[in-house]
């Protein structure tokens, strides 16, 4: 281009990578403007500008993500509560069948034995939930399927807290169910009503998933048998006010405290009974005789 301008074959030109405009003497204004514009276009093609960032004025709707997390939470709580409850009942029956319970009750009281079994199995269940929650979250983050946000961490905490509350309530019931029989074959019969209640609670959680602020979900959050599964769904969805959280926890704790006293009395009178199945009404009367 420099030779062409010097030989008067061109009035002006762009040198090299458009770093300068070459003229013989003076640059015409119109021609200069055209060359300046061409230079800018060449530089843009050689080094395009970075893409513009996208900034939303309103936050995106993450209700679908929260609904998925809430469903997984309900599923985990259902399987953990029914699994460890049945394990507790089976352990009590095994001790009765092997007569180990008679040896244990010679050194400690029935209430202490029952409390130890409930707490021990509960700790195992809680640790398993911690491992499952941490492992699933880490796997989801590693595969870009889950964003490690405040909602995700809060959901894990909600599941752990409500497992403790729900397990304390249901463990007393499963302990009584195990104390009423002396054979493993009969455990299924005495725990079936509890399994039905837990399964019904899980099915009702779908109503809470669809409408966490609805009247049905709100009412079920204050019913002790359904609260351990329904309330966490509403909490994760962000549709449970603070006063309802406090109320649901207080109702469940009060029900558990009353149930502990009743379960301990029935357990202490039924756990030493071997042979035929002890009827619940009979065990109740014996506990108050």
Q: Of 182 and 209, which is predicted with more confidence?
A: 209
Q: Would you place residue 287 in the very low, low, confident or very high pLDDT band (cuts 50, 70, 90)?
A: low
* Of 62 and 170, the one with more pLDDT: 170
Q: How confident is the model at residue 177 (pLDDT cuts 50, 70, 90)?
A: confident
Asked if pLDDT for residue 216 goes beyond 60, the answer is: yes
Residue 52 neighbours by CB under 8 Å, 6+ apart: none
Q: Which residues pair with 13 in a beta bridge?
A: 22
Q: CB of 13 within 8 A of CB of 4?
A: yes
**Quick one: DSSP state of residue 278?**
P
**CA gap 150, 20 in Å, rounded:** 54
Q: Please name the residue ranges forming H helices in 7-62.
A: 29-46
Percent of the chain at pLDDT above 90? 27
Rounded average pLDDT over 201-217: 90
The domain ranges of the chain are 2-46, 63-287
Rg of the chain taking only CA atoms, in angstroms: 35
Q: What is the pLDDT of residues 50-89, one digit of tens each?
A: 665 545 455 445 566 677 888 888 998 999 999 999 999 8
Q: Rounded to 5 degrees, what angle do the CA atoms 284, 121, 127 make?
A: 145
Q: Which residues of 273-286 are buried (b: 16+ CB within 10 A; e: fewer)?
A: beeeebeeeebbee
Query: What 3-state class would DSSP assign to 227?
Result: helix
Residue corresponding to tokens 């941490």: 134
Closest alpha carbon to 69 in 175, 161, 147:
147
Higher pLDDT, 205 or 38: 205
């Amino acid at each position: 281009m420099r030779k062409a301008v010097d030989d008067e074959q061109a009035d002006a030109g762009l040198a090299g990578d458009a770093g300068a405009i070459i003229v013989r003497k003076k640059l015409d204004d119109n021609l200069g403007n055209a060359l300046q514009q061409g230079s800018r276009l060449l530089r843009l093609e050689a080094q395009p500008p970075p893409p513009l960032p996208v900034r939303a004025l309103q936050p995106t709707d993450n209700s679908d993500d929260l609904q998925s997390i809430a469903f997984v939470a309900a599923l985990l709580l259902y399987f953990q509560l029914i699994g460890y409850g049945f394990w507790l009942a089976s352990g009590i029956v095994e001790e009765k069948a092997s007569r180990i319970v008679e040896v244990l009750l010679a050194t400690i009281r029935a209430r202490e034995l029952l409390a130890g079994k409930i707490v021990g199995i509960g700790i195992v269940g809680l640790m398993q939930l911690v491992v499952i929650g941490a492992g699933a979250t880490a796997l989801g983050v590693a595969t870009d399927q889950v964003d490690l946000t405040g909602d995700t961490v809060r959901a894990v905490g909600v599941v752990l807290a409500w497992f403790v509350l729900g397990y304390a309530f249901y463990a007393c019931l499963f302990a009584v169910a195990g104390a009423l029989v002396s054979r493993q074959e009969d455990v299924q019969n005495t725990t079936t009503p509890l399994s039905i209640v837990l399964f019904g609670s899980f099915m009702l959680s779908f109503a809470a998933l669809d409408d966490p602020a609805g009247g049905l979900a709100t009412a079920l959050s204050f019913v002790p048998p359904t609260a351990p599964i329904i309330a966490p769904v509403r909490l994760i969805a962000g549709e449970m006010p603070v006063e309802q959280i406090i109320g649901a926890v207080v109702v469940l704790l009060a029900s558990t405290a009353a149930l502990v006293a009743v379960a301990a009395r029935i357990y202490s009178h039924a756990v030493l009974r071997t042979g035929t199945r002890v009827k619940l009404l009979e065990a109740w009367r014996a506990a108050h005789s």
